[in-house]
Amino acid sequence: MDELRQAYEYVIDVGKRSAFPAHHNYQVRLKTFLKRKGVVAECEQDFIDVRFTTAGKMFIGEVKVTKYLTVAEAFRAALGQILDYAHDTLGSPGMIIFLDQQLDRERINLATELGIAVVIQQGETHTLLNSQVAPLLRGIFR
């Protein structure tokens, strides 16, 4: 029960930061993947899960894992966080939501309308689900 409470507190960002193993492991895999693509990423700076620059454009990303959440809940939480973080970040960064499960078409369309890229990781593969939002990401994610 304690692990579930900790996960919930992490998702809603109640002011304390907990190291949630599944989330941390996703970030480590993502950072390693980006490094292999020649992209240097920072993790957990100013509560932003991942930040990197490619072709002169800064991107910020919010990672959500579905160990204790449905993919819809993970998307909803990530959506609010990434919009808020982008609002607080100088330079109009590109926004990315990183998930560990496939997302339904309606939510992909919503993210697209809001200008947010969605990437899912399954195994070693990172797939950009709406490349029209950020064509610069096509060279990184398939």
Residue 32: CATH number of its domain: 3.40.1350.10
* Number of structural domains found in the chain: 1
Is the pLDDT at 17 greater than 60? The verdict is: no
Asked if residues 31 and 121 have their Cβ atoms less than 8 Å apart, the reply is no
| Higher per-residue pLDDT: 76 or 15 | 76
Q: How far apart are CA 62 and CA 45, in angstroms?
A: 12
Reported as a single tens digit per residue, the pLDDT across 73-120 is 999 999 999 999 999 988 899 999 999 999 999 999 999 999 999 999
Query: 100: left (phi > 0), else alpha (psi -120 to 50), else beta?
Result: alpha
106 or 15, which is more confident: 106
pLDDT at 24: 93
Range of the domain at 43: 2-11+19-139
**pTM for this model (two decimals):** 0.87
Contact call for residues 34 and 140 (beta carbons, < 8 A): yes
For the residues 112-134, what does the mean pLDDT come to?
96
The pLDDT tens digits for 41-50 are: 999 998 899 9
